[in-house]
Structure 1
């Protein structure tokens, strides 16, 4: 009795399942489903795993119907693996500097997917800008299966050009077509410099209040937006920005943005803290028999001197002495007691070395000197920014200037730890760093 069989072979690992529809006829009777069926699978074609023979037997009472189908597995084309090569590298390696911490490091990732049975050589090479970077670890591998490789990359220097480094991943198979993938990256640097050249360390990390700082970067087209927090962006040009830092001590934060990379640096801002004075010269009267005739010239430094306060003005605030005794307590000498009538109250701008000149002196002290006398000027020292006269000045230190007269006409002036003395016989001296 004829039997018909329609089937599809599908691989399921070590076994084969048959999916089929069949029909048989016995007399005028159409039988859709047999009461029993058996399947057997035998491997043919010399052990070829893709060749099978399927035997299907259906039993209907005393009748057995058998159909045999030889088949070959057809690979599922949707699951076929094609050889593919991908390369992923950082867009920017940022070199360390006084503005950025850490090392210019990143990871290059190579992803290779191999077709079945393919093998060959996989390599990573720098074809442009090799002097700017260093690849660490192996860069060549023999592969016979899909792999993912990671290589550490370190920036060494910047050429000053965008996309100055080119990396190429290449797979050369034993047979077939070579595959390549490339990526460009930029080795960049951001740093800052003091605009003034005094003090000489222009690469310092701390600055005086309102000091101007140049923020620079290479390649010049790396960043296109500069934002300053607690400071003022004065100018932004090709690869640089001029920043005026905070007018108060603390920090000024600067952010540079390229669209895919943001660099932030913080500048430490310092206010004037104290003063130091050095004697430049002394002048003493040579006239015998008179009292006084002393003048001391100082160079006064505003500390710390490792930042610039060249844009600051300082002033000795006028005060009136309240401790006058003896000779200086007499009504005719009250003008001596008012510092505002004797040079105080004028604004003096600091020079590039954070210094200004000052004088302390006394003219001829008329006799009689009986009993002597003394008085002291209290001197608050304030500062403000020269170009912002409306800002409230800040007092940053306080010192005194003292005058003493002995009964024999000997006069002494004391200021900044120095003492100048002159007697009526023109004997004079200068003693320094007295506390």
Structure 2
């Protein structure tokens, strides 16, 4: 018996065709049209329910429509949504103070998207290199890792080695040196007097949840400190309890010079990102040198403040750890049965599918037919990142659906 993804029905097909006709084809979505969401579940326009194992690439760490976050958003919508940074607003200060305390830093520079936050970190690192370290003008370098995914702006794709992201979009900005991921010695070998920063993901998400060797982050911290180089951790996907700790760097008791945050920071309601660092780093930015009309808007700040308050309780760290251990045991049983390997940290897993049973996309489509939403990456890898509000029984059911489609 083989399991095939069911064909979309008429209403779903009509919506997809309308979207295809008027939306640029920069994504290749699964053939499902979502209309409602609650907790770890979503419902399509035909009334079919699906367990969401993607969480909008970790932007929905707290699930769909978390009551506390919706209440905060509704209250703020009735008061004030936008001022621009031309004026102060009464939510930005409290949000920044809470986020800085959560990260153990002094200052927050708020933006909107993850890519904006990475671009911000690059500008800050270069300014710090010139104004503090004394690097000659326009000579600053930043060391990055192969397999990285930090966003899709032209600067960022210029130091990507993913041909889909990079090809056809040059010329690219200079100033980046790429080394193998997980190799701290390669980072140190790449450093020069003109190196301002090292930018890495503590765990690479888009690459397939690639977890570096134990001690990698500690080695980067030591190398950067010894050479007078900033350590920038892109925690846009890995941060805010996705891996069972507040930040993925916490897994090695490491504190970077800059955290780059996004996705879950906006509670799955608004785009919200931030760079968080101490005053001796973020203090190099002067008025007029960087900004965003929507960055730090009161609606996003209010929601971000509520997110930080929720994270401060410790509940989601505990859930991410306990449920992650539960999920790891269940997924481990699939290795050798249609799965070649599993990489997991907290509630974030990369599952390598045996080519004999299908591609990652084909498995995702078969799971869709059985009421489970997941997404493929790099051909054979299935990524899952369930909301932190998911139940253990729901994870068990989802793994059973994966077992069935792999066996078929």
Same fold, TM-score > 0.5, yes or no? no
Higher helix share: 2
Query: Shorter-normalised TM-score: what interval?
Result: under 0.3
Specify the structure having the higher radius of gyration (Cα).
1
What's the TM-score once normalised by structure 1's chain length? Answer: 0.17
What's the TM-score once normalised by structure 2's chain length? Answer: 0.18
| Greater length-normalized contact order (CA 8 Å, ≥ 6 residues apart) | 2
Higher strand share: 1
